[in-house]
Structure formats: structure tokens, C-alpha cells
């Protein structure tokens, strides 16, 4: 495989990562209607614990890197949910 082909594959994967991240945030936003508050520490611990368990299948990935990325994703999920809640409150007010 050539360098150009490798880079093309990387670009494709980057696009897939963006698409999956957007989809994940859309799903996180949908969960908001089922919850009384933004954020669920028990669920977030469960997500991170599940990732730790899966890490042995990915020898090139450092656990601290993956957990750090997912903590940021969870933080962004909470932000999106809060923003949505705020926007709905503004819609209701005359």
C-alpha cells in the first residue's frame, strides 16, 4: 500500500469517527427526555468501566488516552443536553 493510499484510508476513518461522534451525541440528546437531570454519574462510570474491560483487544491504544477521550465525549454530551433543556425552556416562555 502506498503512502497516498494509507493517507486516503486515514481520511476516510477520520470522517467515520466524526459521523459516529455526531450520531452518539444525537443519541445522548434523545436520552434527555427520559431523565430528570443532566448527567448520570453511575452510567458514566459504567461506560468507562466497559471501556477498560474492552481495552485488552486494542493493544495500540493507551487506556489513559481512551478514557480521557471518552470523558470529553461525556462532558460534551452533558453540554448538548443542557443546551437543549435551556432552549426548550426559552420556547415555553412568552
Grid coordinates representing 56 are: 485488552
Give buried/exposed letters for 10-40 (b at 16+ CB in 10 A, else e).
Answer: eeeeeeeeeeeeeeebeebeeebeeeeebee
Would you kindly state where each structural domain of the chain is located, as residue ranges?
3-92
Identify the CATH homologous superfamily for domain 3-92.
Answer: Chorismate mutase (1.20.59.10)
Q: Quote the pTM value.
A: 0.85
Per-residue pLDDT of the chain (94 residues; tens, 9 = 90+): 999 999 999 999 999 999 999 999 999 999 988 988 898 999 999 999 999 999 999 999 999 999 999 999 999 999 999 987 666 655 555 5
Grid coordinates representing 33 are: 427526555
Grid coordinates representing 15 are: 470522517
Amino acid at each position: 500500500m502506498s503512502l497516498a493510499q494509507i493517507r486516503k484510508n486515514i481520511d476516510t476513518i477520520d470522517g467515520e469517527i466524526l459521523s459516529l461522534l455526531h450520531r452518539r451525541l444525537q443519541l445522548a440528546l434523545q436520552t434527555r427526555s427520559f431523565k430528570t437531570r443532566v448527567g448520570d454519574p453511575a452510567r458514566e462510570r459504567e461506560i468507562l468501566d466497559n471501556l477498560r474491560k474492552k481495552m485488552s483487544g486494542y493493544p495500540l491504544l493507551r487506556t489513559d488516552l481512551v478514557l480521557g477521550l471518552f470523558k470529553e465525549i461525556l462532558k460534551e454530551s452533558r453540554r448538548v443536553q443542557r443546551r437543549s433543556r435551556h432552549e426548550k425552556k426559552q420556547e415555553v416562555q412568552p
